[in-house]
Amino acid sequence: MCEFISWIEKDDEVLFLTGNEVFNTKRGRELQNHCKSKDDLTGHGAIRWYFGTDDKPISGGKERECTNFSTPDNFPKQIVRAIKKGQMWGFDDATPQELLTNTAWAEYEKITNPARAEYEKIKNTAFWNIFADVNNRNPKWR
């Protein structure tokens, strides 16, 4: 699994995926079906597949990734522009705290923490309640 944000530098191009490409295009929907996990959507394999063809992903280039958002200098200018435009939405765990001021991060947590706490309370119980119904089980577990 690659880190958010991953990119490939190839032939003077910087190839990376935005939320719009992955979640609002036909090719992006095909990529979602192609990937084994949502975690794979930000990886080099996903980038190669998206910008290639179904049977021939792009090859070559330098694979890069960075999780240090403390300065825009850590990223190519194309990615910095996409980040500043808010185009990196939709990816799990793609909320780097370093992008916000402390005040803005506190506001973000004020909004998200109650939902996260509620989810943590119900997720396990919800799963097992659904599983308890024999009709919901994988046939191997009936």
Predicted structure pTM score? 0.82
Rounded to a whole number of angstroms, the distance between the first and last alpha carbons of the chain is 33
Instruction: Report how far apart, in Å, the C-alpha atoms of 77 and of each of 13, 52, 89 are.
Output: 11, 23, 18
b/e 31-53 (16+ beta carbons within 10 angstroms → b): beebbeeeebbbbbbbbbbbbee
The torsion angles phi and psi of 60, rounded to 5 degrees, stand at 75, -175
Q: What is the pLDDT of residue 9?
A: 97
pLDDT tens-digit readout, 37-70: 888 998 999 999 999 987 899 999 999 999 999 9
Q: What is the pLDDT of residue 53?
A: 86
b/e 92-103 (16+ beta carbons within 10 angstroms → b): eeeeeeeeeeee
Contact between 96 and 40 (Cβ < 8 Å):
no
Q: What is the pLDDT of residue 1?
A: 61
Q: Which residues of the chain fall below pLDDT 50?
A: none
